[in-house]
Structure formats: structure tokens, C-alpha cells
Amino acid sequence: MNGQREMTELLRLVEAIYHSTPELSEFGEWPSDLSPAQIPQKHIPAANIIMSLPDKGVPETQEIVQAIQEAAPFANWTQTYTVEEVGQDFLDRYGYFELFGPYGNFHTDHLRGFVGFWDTNLDYGWHDHEAEELYFGLSGSGLFKAEGEENRRIGPGDAKYHRSFQAHAMETIDDHFLCLAFWRGSGMADLPKMKS
């Protein structure tokens, strides 16, 4: 299938950084049952923005950013919000895809790994979900807000954890934010949704 080589290379690099970054490897064991899955490909406008990003983050993240740019044309880009909820501008400049997990390019039920992107000046409103979550910045930065915590700017190489049902939000200001996000535990197969 088109894009299999690019997705496999991206998975290899994500696994490597997962093992070499303590905050990631402590989140949960890397799945041992990953197998390629046949899933659709869906293009969205944000994929074009990602493909032309000049910013590759920091030395530890630049190979992954490059691999995401090469895999972007083949990904099953997803948006879980409607124009009524977030507006057209948000939908034109945000998106994510599941690299591995219950519905990803590689199947496993033990951990879920996404690639996420928000372009400049987007406000990703408050939401929560049952699954525990770990964000990992790749390029650009986002201002993270989480219930009970100080706001924190997350950039390339930074990790941010959200416990089960901890409300959180994220805002990009003068910068885009390209990241990985991992989910584990109960509710892992649910959709990330903002409170309406």
C-alpha cells in the first residue's frame, strides 16, 4: 500500500525516541504486538502546511519531523470537531492522525500514538478524556493549560502529562505546534473531544 515505507520509517523513529526519552518510556511499555493495518488515507489542508514547515525542532526531533513530512501525504488525517464547534479557520489549520493504536496505521490495543498539528494562533479549548495522555513536542510550541497546574509552554523535546479526566486546553500563539501524543489505560479507544 502507498505510504507503507514512510509510515514504517516514522514508526521506527518514534519507537527510538520513545526508548531514549525517560519521560516517554516511563509512560508505558512500548507495544510488542504492533502489526501493519489497512486503513484509509485522508488528506486535509493542514497536511500541506506540515509538509512545507521549515522548522524541524531540535536535533533530537528533526528526523521525526522530516519523517512526518514524508508520511503526511499518506496519513489518515482526522478532525474530531465540526465547523460549528471550532470554526473553519481552525479546521483548515489543525489535524491529527493515529500512527498506531486500535485504529492506526499499525494495530495494537496496548498504547495509542498520534501525530498532532496546530498552526499559529489557534485556541484548542478545554476538554478531558478517560485515557491518560502524554504530549511530546517536536517543533514549534504550544501553551498548555491543565486543571490545577500553572500554564506551561511546551516546545521540542518537552513532555506534558494529563491524568485520567484532568481537564486541559492548549493555545498556539506566534508559533505552530507539531507533536506526538500517547494514550494509555481505560478509554484508550475513545475520541478526544472538547466540551460543547
In whole angstroms, the minimum distance from the beta carbon of 102 to Zn ion comes to 16
Please pick, from the candidates 6, 119, 132, 133, the single residue that binds Zn ion as defined by CB under 5 A: 133
- The region of 50-58, 61-69, 130-138, 143-151 touching Zn ion under the rule CB under 5 A is 130-138
Nearer to Zn ion, 34 or 179 (CB): 179
- The region of 20-28, 43-51, 97-105, 133-141 touching Zn ion under the rule CB under 5 A is 133-141
Instruction: Confirm or reject binding of residue 119 to Zn ion (CB under 5 A).
Output: no
**How many Å apart are CA 190 and CA 99, to the nearest integer?**
15
Phi, psi of 92 (to 5 degrees): -75, -15
Set of cell numbers at residue 103: 485504529
Looking at beta carbons, which residue is closest to Zn ion?
A: 133
The one-letter code for the residue type at 178 is L
Cα 2 to Cα 6, 52, 61, 106, 137: the distances in Å are 9, 20, 25, 14, 27
**How many Å apart are CA 56 and CA 54, to the nearest integer?**
6
- The region of 41-49, 81-89, 129-137, 142-150 touching Zn ion under the rule CB under 5 A is 129-137
Nearer to Zn ion, 133 or 158 (CB): 133
**How many Å apart are CA 28 and CA 30, to the nearest integer?**
6
Q: Which residues bind Zn ion (CB under 5 A)?
A: 133
